[in-house]
Structure 1
Amino acid sequence: MHNPLTVLAEHAAGWRDRPLSAGLEHHARRALVDWFAVLLAGCAHPPATLMARALPAGAPEGGAAICYVDGRPSDIRRAALLNGTASHTVEFDDIYRDAGYHPACPTMPAALATAQARGGDMAALLRAVVAGYEVSCRIGLAVQPSHYRYWHTTGTVGTFGAAAATAVLLGSDAERTAHALATAATMASGLQQAFRGAGMSKPLHAGHAAEAGVLAALAAHAGVTGALDVLDGPVGFAAATSEDRGKWDKALAGLGETHAIEAITFKNHGCCGHIFAGLDGLLELQRQAGFGAADVEAIHVGGYGPTKDICDRPVAETEQEARFSMQYCAAALLLLGGVRLAAFAPERLTDPAIHALMPRVSVSLDPELADAYPQQRAARVTVRLKDGCTLQHFQPTRKGDPDLPLSDDELSGKFLELTAPAVGDATARRVLDALWTSERLPGAIALQRA
């Protein structure tokens, strides 16, 4: 087998001037629209706001990138770090299902900051994004599902997405792109334990991946070399973070023929993706039977591994805990009609009605669904009503997955819902139109700050 790192580097470098088909450009714009929605929604929240004060903007040499968190011109690394952190805060960012990975929040901020600072245009940005998604999603495929036992994929393989996208925009050839990926590998990090409890570390995984990828690409472009066998070597990235040295044949299959960015999940709920199938199943049962929260005696969700391991949280007090609690999200869905940003407002986190319903929700591991993970993200939902009726539904996929996608109109609606409170309705609509149609890079956007 060929060295997977150099194969991926050669593919990525080809996107410096490879034209995008109309279909591929449209998929890349969908990803950009979705990312900007979560970026602008997250800019007013910690930890990004705290980090912006901790890392004040200096005067960058040459061109400047835009840090949307504080609206300041910034160097590429600061913009990538803070924008990446902000975009992983409200838990509405995209997913590459087969790798259990959020590719936008590390890849997009690195690419956009580099394009802004180096004078790129929208076409160059979209090509770089396609390359970053392709490289990182395929590395994610190689190390999953065992990687996810201890590692947060967005923080680890996201570093490769940021490095590849940045290298494309710098004009790096295949050799320097390979060294960018090699250096990125040794900077990759992000532990599962960081989001199993309270704390603000999880969004920083995405920001760190974006910044580390940028640094790796800048270093390689300047001549810094890395170990080119670091992906599949005996003590390399795959060996250290998965059960074997990587499923590289699987990961590289169809390279150049199929594209990861065409198979992206766009979130339809503002919580952990491992909860989605349970929520979708609950919504379907509610649609069929017309029950409300007051009618429910018990809800049970049978799910795959992470649904049980990560999201079975009978007690949820903080916003992060609530976003990772099936109990909280199911109760909020029944009481509020949806699990969107409003479900995690401070007054909802202490809502006695939500907390009274949570003990009626239970979660178990379904062995059949566990075996089908990660390619399938399904749930078996059982609702027992107070009148004695028992309802059951098998939810085979999640709304927003490639086989049940959000339409462009639904994606635009999500964008407006998330961004209008942050920038105002008129600005949100103007930015949305530009993201769908403009050939120019996104510029500064004024936030409505409290």
Structure 2
Amino acid sequence: MHATQKLARFGAALSATELAPEVAHHAQRAVIDWFASLYPGLGTPAVAVLTNTLAEELDHGPSRIVGGRMATTRAAALLQGTAAHAAEVDDSFRDAMYHPGAATIAAALAVSHSMRASGPAFLKAVVAGYEISTRIGVVMGRPHYKYWHNTGTMGSFGAAAAAASLLQLNEVAYANALAMAATFTAGLQQAFRLESMAKPLHAGRAAEAGVLAAQLAGGGMLSSFDVLEGESGLGQAMSTGPDWSTIDSTLGQDFHITRLTFKNHIGCGHTFAAIDGALALQRQHGFTHADIERVHLGVYQPTLDIAPHVNPQTADQARFSLHYMVATALVHGSVRLSAFDPDRLNDPATRSLMQRMEKALDPDVDAAFPGRRGARVAITLRNGTQLQHLQPDRKGDPELPLTDDDLEGKLMELAGPVIGEKASRELLARIWQLHKSTELP
């Protein structure tokens, strides 16, 4: 069997089985985090432009977007997949170097609304999308991540699997959906190395592409089942010819959705270990930002590549600035949405500390990537004291997980200003009942 067929066999079978309580619970946690990410993203410029551009596909159709506005299924997936990635607070699966929730849940929700699916069916679709797409991402490995934005590429598979599950495609059609999704994969990292609004569109397009792939397969469209491992397939074209033979070896046994990372700060996740390490030193030794003479950050290579800005001029650049993220945490105690307000971007204390900061590749930290996302922080105080701390993981990683209460607090913090406290609590209640409810959020 080809890799697409192995994955399809799992996905089609999952649709007919009941999720284990632990797996369903973790899927609900992922949905909570997705909504927490979605609401602040709805107000971003990228989503505003996209909404205006999609005017012909809104206010009619079988799906709806948050707020009750009707939409075509693909437009709903595109819009909400974009919004869920736009504020840089969405989940990730470390080993696949990938934010699976943005596209997968956007596609699952859009198709579920169009079909009036049940809560349990929606959750199974989410799980299928996570399990299948993350495994493809793991196989593609670090060589793929050198140039490609995995949230755009692997997201197409997550969305396709979720949609195929809800459409109840048989194994053959399911495999065709995954195979077609492979030809739709896109998203270059270069698209967000300079000032750009393109990054969240990668997630939105992945959601839309996955839905389309599943719809086409359901209508009888055929594709090449060997598109992942073939001599001109995804593995050769976008990685270094990886081994696909064991891609299904742990499917149904080790559920990746139970080992997600949920963000505890706002911004690029590659900066988070350095933030956590710097704050740990500050808590342990009681110094303030004014006491700091010098900060040295030892990080893994993607941190240098993806968070390179040393003098960010905009909120988007600041989210991808290791200097800014760590400095603002040391000055203000945390990195929340307010860190990217115009007045905070030019905060004199933060800017001063950034000038006393340097970064470099740490070979040991880099060798642990992608399985561990660490940083080595060294701080020299003005009185000559030298402090060092190795932060091997980030708060929110499986080793330092956010609790259910933490995730609820995240949704209240990020959704509350948009829809209000009462509506946010009602949303949480609906999500926690999805495993036995016919009402979708």
TM-score (norm. length: structure 2)? 0.97
The aligned counterpart of 1:389 is: 385
Offset at 1:442?
A: 3.3
The 1-side partners of 2:341 and 2:68 are apart by: 24
What is the aligned counterpart of 1:440 among 419, 425, 438?
438
3-state SS of paired residue (1:157): helix
Equivalent positions of 1:337-416 (< 5 A) are 337-416=333-412
The aligned counterpart of 2:234 is: 237
What is the aligned counterpart of 1:267 among 263, 275, 280?
263
What is the aligned counterpart of 1:308 among 298, 304, 307?
304
The 1-side partners of 2:409 and 2:246 are apart by: 36
**Do 2:118 and 2:440's aligned partners in 1 also have CA atoms closer than 8 Å?**
no
The 2-side partners of 1:323 and 1:58 are apart by: 31
Amino acid at match of 2:180: T
3-state SS of paired residue (1:406): coil
The aligned counterpart of 2:332 is: 336
Deviates more, 1:296-305 or 1:201-210: 296-305
1:145 aligns with 2:139: no
**Do 1:330 and 1:361's aligned partners in 2 also have CA atoms closer than 8 Å?**
no
What is the aligned counterpart of 1:167 among 164, 168, 171?
164
Deviates more, 1:208-217 or 1:314-323: 314-323
1:39 aligns with 2:16: no
**Do 2:3 and 2:225's aligned partners in 1 also have CA atoms closer than 8 Å?**
no
Amino acid at match of 1:225: L
Offset at 1:58?
A: 4.4
Amino acid at match of 2:33: D
What is the aligned counterpart of 2:222 among 197, 222, 225?
225
The 1-side partners of 2:68 and 2:383 are apart by: 55
The 2-side partners of 1:144 and 1:33 are apart by: 28
The 1-side partners of 2:364 and 2:246 are apart by: 23
The 2-side partners of 1:388 and 1:181 are apart by: 58
The 2-side partners of 1:49 and 1:71 are apart by: 17
The 1-side partners of 2:18 and 2:419 are apart by: 33
**Do 1:179 and 1:227's aligned partners in 2 also have CA atoms closer than 8 Å?**
yes
**Do 1:116 and 1:441's aligned partners in 2 also have CA atoms closer than 8 Å?**
no
The 2-side partners of 1:160 and 1:201 are apart by: 20
**Do 2:88 and 2:267's aligned partners in 1 also have CA atoms closer than 8 Å?**
yes
The 2-side partners of 1:440 and 1:335 are apart by: 47
The 2-side partners of 1:392 and 1:104 are apart by: 35
The aligned counterpart of 1:429 is: 425
The aligned counterpart of 2:74 is: 77
What is the aligned counterpart of 2:154 among 153, 157, 170?
157
Amino acid at match of 1:30: R
The aligned counterpart of 2:53 is: 54
1:6 aligns with 2:13: no
**Do 2:300 and 2:365's aligned partners in 1 also have CA atoms closer than 8 Å?**
yes
**Do 1:142 and 1:250's aligned partners in 2 also have CA atoms closer than 8 Å?**
no
The aligned counterpart of 2:120 is: 123
**Do 1:298 and 1:360's aligned partners in 2 also have CA atoms closer than 8 Å?**
yes
1:66 aligns with 2:34: no
3-state SS of paired residue (1:252): coil
Offset at 1:248?
A: 2.0
The aligned counterpart of 1:276 is: 272
The aligned counterpart of 2:16 is: 17
Give me the identity figure in percent. Answer: 47
The 1-side partners of 2:44 and 2:316 are apart by: 12
The 1-side partners of 2:304 and 2:3 are apart by: 33
Deviations 1:191-234 (A, max 9, x none): 00011111100000000000000000000000011111101111
Offset at 1:312?
A: 3.3
Unaligned runs of 5+ in 2: none
Deviations 1:128-155 (A, max 9, x none): 0000001100000011111111000000
3-state SS of paired residue (2:388): strand
Offset at 1:353?
A: 2.5
Deviations 1:25-50 (A, max 9, x none): 10000000000111112111121121
3-state SS of paired residue (2:265): coil
Amino acid at match of 1:31: A
C-alpha change, 1:259 and 1:330, in structure 2 (3 Å) is same
**Do 2:59 and 2:69's aligned partners in 1 also have CA atoms closer than 8 Å?**
no
3-state SS of paired residue (2:86): coil
